[in-house]
Amino acid sequence: MQAVADIDPVEGRPALIAGDPDFHSITETVAAPMEWTPPRGWYIALGVSLLMLSMLGVSIGWLFWEGVGIWGNNQPVAWGWPIVNFVFWVGIGHAGTLISAVLFLFRQKWRTSINRTAEAMTIFAVMCALIFPGIHIGRPWLPYWMMPVPNSMDMWPQFRSPLMWDVFAVSIYGTVSLLFWYLGLIPDLATMRDRAKTKVRRIAYGVFSMGWRGSQRQWHHYEKAYLLLAGLATPLVLSVHSVVSFDFATSQLPGWHTTIFPPYFVAGAIFSGIAMVVTLMVICRVLFKLESIVNLLHFDRMAKLLLVTGSIVGYAYSIEFFIAWYSGNPYEGFTFLNRAFGPYAWAYWIMVSCNVITPQIFWFKKARTNMTILFIASIFINIGMWFERFVIVVTSLHRDFLPSSWGYFRPTFWDIATFVGSFGLFFTMFCLFVRFLPMVAMAEVKGVLPEAHGRPPEPETDMPAIDVSATETAQVAGTARVP
Amino acid sequence: MHHEPITVPTASVTLPEGNSWGRLSRISAVVGVVALLATFALYFKDGHTFFPSYLVAFLFWLSIALGGLIFVLIQYATRAGWSVAVRRLAEHVMGTLPVFGLLFLPLLLGIHDLYHWSHHEAVEADRLLEHKSAFLNSFGFSTRSVVYLVIWSLLAWWFRRQSIAQDQSKDPQVTRRLQARSAPAILVFALTVTFASFDWIMSLDPHWYSTVFGVYLFAGCFLAIHAVLALLCLRLQNQKLLAGVVSFEHYHDLGKMLFAMVVFWAYIGFSQYMLIWYANIPEETAFFQERLTHGWKGITVALVLGHFVLPFLFLLLRGVKRRRATLRFAALWLLAVHWLDLYWLVMPPLNHDGPHFSFADVTAFVGIGGLFLAVLATLMQKSALVPIGDPRLTESLSFENV
Amino acid sequence: MSGQAASTEYGLLAEFQTPEHLYQACEKVRDAGFSHWDAHSPFPIHGLDKAMGLKKSPVSLFVLVLGLSGATIGMLMQWWVATKAYPLVISGKPLFSWPAFIPIAFECGILGGAVGALLGFLSQARLPRPHHALFNASRLERVTDDAFFISIETADPNFDRESTAQLLKDLGATHVEAVAA
């Protein structure tokens, strides 16, 4: 399809990249943040992030010294914030894979402006996620027990446990995301290598670009590998949050055991992740002067994705509620009434208003293209999605089957410090990323410019090609680009 | 590069005078009516097998029409360009929905034969059914069913009419209006199809429940419409129609969507099975227990192989999606296993001791299918086969797969 | 190999103005029967592989083989652990509980496929390769920015210093230079 930057006949679809850029100006725009002295805002952000990161360090240090008793986890809510935070962070990561892989398969070329950042976010989010089960195991020097490695005790992991599936799913997700991200980075790293003014930069970018020279014989295999990785990452991203949902849904606990969990978790994960991309992009495009590359069109599309995934989440909430009644299972019914009207009703209604009501504002185009509204709504959605996991974990546990085992979960200072600290890790990584790596996939953005086309290839098929030379013709509305 | 209007031959986007679709329409109508009469006659011979057979056939053809509706809604909502060339065919398919309103009526007479919860003595003896009777009662069931069918018919009728009017007016405003309406229409569709799946299929075993059941049925509908669209295009192109409009690129995309829906169906199906198997709660496992014992186990295994493993491997190949014979085979195969899927959903609660072949299975299938085809072929005569007024048609004519 | 091409020379590097020029030039170079040559661009150009006459990339084969192996190994590992190495009855489920083993087998398959894609790409694109004779041409640095090139090696049987350079110029090259080996 040649008509990438064509004006859409219906909506006057704006060009993917605003202004009238050429290949060189894109290189300049994207490379600038890595070559300037960074703006003061960057130093402030890095400083605050490092401060939060050190809070994470202290929290984990104290945890290892003292034990998991410093957290609010206790009977009946034995799974507290650590699992909430784990699911929250894994979910954030999913938008990166959606944007880089799923939208790629659906030929959504607008993704090229935001996919690099979204993928980076995926990797950092998975790093944050992996911390929580890692430090939650009580004896943090024994995590290798979760790996199938021969050991002197002659013991092996118990693969029927969904928690073991998690270990594999999330670590493989992190690995594959990293591979995908790195593959996409190679041509851009070569650009940085060729622009490098200092020897250190030249060597560093040179090593990681592996001798890329933009050769068609390389691009040929590169494109194939990229397409296949996108094809693999798509079912992977579905499976990862499905596996996370299995942690809950394989149990017999009311509110956890329900068959809609896998697709519902996946939709929720993408929902929260896109919200995070919006939050970050609203800031970054201003800070690093990327307004022409990341423009209103991209926000409009992301807001629509928020509306879609938010509605799917709303659908799941409603169906769960209905089936809780329909099942006739008194425990199931009680759990859901308890969610909405019990001691944690405040959390439930925060969840509903943030996740279901907030995104409804995106029915309006004005809201989809207004940075202030986007920013505020995306923050609300992030909060709402954290609360969704909180509601799922805590409300299903805090009133056990016997009223004598009822309780009320309260987080401790260290719960909060660890969670806030994990944002420190995320933002520190993100600050370093925007400083040292190209935050927009230059090669891909250049490839969607209107002047980037050679000529379409000849088809290999036994089906008839389009024949526009017939004598008796009906004119079709609109016009197309013909090379 | 420069702009140039793309033109397509008029003769290739409208059915010519005296085309074979008119004959098809008449023949299917006759065959359909005869087969339906035969089905009703079988009712008097064996009332017990009539309604289940009729329900399976009804659901199979309805799922195709519903697939057409959601296909059209999704294409508008996503402002899709590639699919415009095949969208009109989906609009014709969904245009058959009002017929299903009529075809549903016999099922209202069969509530007692099909649904255990409709018997007062059963409800009185069963605390669970008593609890559910606020929802599962004959009046509610009938009312809701009528509401679903009316909503679907109205949506299909309105979207199809607007789109056809655009053929003449070529007004982009129409596309804008349909885009704006499609998103809320999808919400309505999602809820109605979910509850229809609960009412018509899930409640056949009134104790059983699964929150993902609506999504499972949706996966089947969406799979079926892509198979039907591929078959319709292949048929029309054999008759030298749609030349210059539908290219192998569209077939490739339809094939890719078939592949994606095969995987999606398996994903939903496996998630549902695995979670129920794992938690092992008796009132939930009953569903699979029933389908893994007696004669049903064979069907279940056939479904796993035929609906997932084999088509997955077959459609993985790029060439399969770009060649006529292989794509036709895949589409027919998938429609067959989609029918098997519905048979597998409906029959076990009514025939505990294994599948029973009955003539009503065939006659109901042919009967409803005949009427479906008759209406479809009639609708296809009434307008162009391609939305020639759609501003995005040119985009659809010129896209290319990577 | 043509006689007068010095062995200290890698070949010729010709610059083209736009992707379209490059595309048309590639078709001609392909038709002239060259085999040791390459095109260079800042981004993949749609259809250029066909214009150059490149064969289908075998990367998918790597993905298929490694992906299937990954899934098989994942399933076998769980089967062996659960039934042979450490048989333990958990929640009344059979030792070989295949539904519970599908997620990990699936993930291992994806991991195998992804590693296959990377290895396939690296081995086919002959990377990593820290140095290449073409890097001697400082002009080529712009290929990662906004320039388009064709390089033809002296190793090509059809290569001839004069006529090949002339061919490239005729095809619209704005600049042709010799690259040291």
pLDDT in tens, C67-100: 999 999 999 999 999 999 999 998 889 999 999 9
Distance, CA of B19 to CA of A273 (rounded, Å): 53
Among A220, A239, A266, the residue to mutate for chain C (most C Cβ within 10 A): A220
Contact yes or no for B270 and C102 at CB 8 A = yes
Contact yes or no for B209 and A468 at CB 8 A = no
Q: What is the pLDDT of residue A356?
A: 95
Q: Which residue has the tokens 């929905």?
A: B97
Residues 6+ apart with CB under 8 A from A290: A29, A30, A284, A439, A440
Instruction: Provide the H-helix boundaries in A288-412.
Output: 296-326, 330-341, 345-352, 365-368, 371-390, 396-398
Minimum CA–CA partner of C97 in chain B: B278
Q: What is the pLDDT of residue A108?
A: 84
Contact yes or no for C99 and B274 at CB 8 A = yes
Contact yes or no for B9 and A464 at CB 8 A = no
Residues of C in contact with A180 (CB under 8 A): 114
Distance, CA of A94 to CA of B70 (rounded, Å): 26
Distance, CA of B221 to CA of B153 (rounded, Å): 16
Residues of C in contact with B402 (CB under 8 A): 46
What is residue C38's DSSP assignment?
E
C18: tokens are 């736009």
Distance, CA of A409 to CA of A394 (rounded, Å): 7
Residues of C in contact with B277 (CB under 8 A): 99
- CA torsion B78-B80-B86-B89 (nearest 10°) is 30
Enumerate neighbours of B (3 or more CB pairs within 8 A): A, C
Judged against a pLDDT cut of 60, whether residue C131 lies above it is answered with yes
Neighbours of A402 (CB within 10 A): 8
pLDDT digits (tens, 9 = 90+) for A254-311: 999 999 999 999 999 999 999 999 999 999 888 888 888 888 889 999 999 999 999 9
Residue C148's DSSP bridge partners are C16
Residue A481's DSSP bridge partners are B3
Judged against a pLDDT cut of 90, whether residue A2 lies above it is answered with no
CB A91 within 8 A of CB A386: no
pLDDT digits (tens, 9 = 90+) for A295-346: 888 999 999 999 999 999 999 999 999 999 999 999 999 999 999 999 999 9
Minimum CA–CA partner of B278 in chain C: C100
Type of residue numbered B108: L
**Would an 8 Å CB–CB cutoff place C78 in contact with chain A?**
yes
Q: Which residues of chain B fall short of a pLDDT of 70?
A: 1-8, 398-402
Type of residue numbered C134: L
Residues 318-357 in A contacting B (C-alpha not used; CB under 8 Å): 318-320, 323, 326-329
Residues 6+ apart with CB under 8 A from B327: B230, B234, B251, B254, B255, B320, B321
Q: What is the mean pLDDT of residues A156-170?
A: 93
B377: tokens are 């072929």
Distance, CA of A329 to CA of B283 (rounded, Å): 10
Distance, CA of C41 to CA of C146 (rounded, Å): 8
0.90 surpassed by complex ipTM? yes
- Which uninterrupted H or E stretch holds C89? none
CB C23 within 8 A of CB C47: yes
Question: Which of B1, B176, B212 is closest, CB to CB, to A260?
Answer: B212
Residues of C in contact with B275 (CB under 8 A): none
CB B358 within 8 A of CB B46: yes
Return phi, psi of residue B143, to 5°. Answer: -60, -50
Of the candidates A217, A260, A233, A277, the one whose C-alpha atom is nearest the C-alpha of residue A105 is: A233
* Region of poorest pLDDT, from A371-375, A419-423, B45-49, B116-120: B45-49
Q: What is the pLDDT of residue B295?
A: 87
CB B151 within 8 A of CB B192: yes
Q: What is the pLDDT of residue A472?
A: 36
Of the candidates B208, B376, B201, B355, the one whose C-alpha atom is nearest the C-alpha of residue B283 is: B208
Judged against a pLDDT cut of 50, whether residue C5 lies above it is answered with no
Judged against a pLDDT cut of 70, whether residue A456 lies above it is answered with no
**Would an 8 Å CB–CB cutoff place C17 in contact with chain A?**
no
Residue A138's DSSP bridge partners are none
Return phi, psi of residue A78, to 5°. Answer: -80, -25
Residues of A in contact with B217 (CB under 8 A): none
Report the interhelical angle of B138-169 vs B84-94 (nearest 10°): 140
- Tell me the torsion sign for CA atoms C45, C49, C53, C54: positive
CB A95 within 8 A of CB A121: yes
Mean pLDDT (chain C, rounded):
90
Judged against a pLDDT cut of 90, whether residue A19 lies above it is answered with no
Q: What is the pLDDT of residue B6?
A: 58
Residues of C in contact with B278 (CB under 8 A): 99-100
Return phi, psi of residue B244, to 5°. Answer: 80, 5
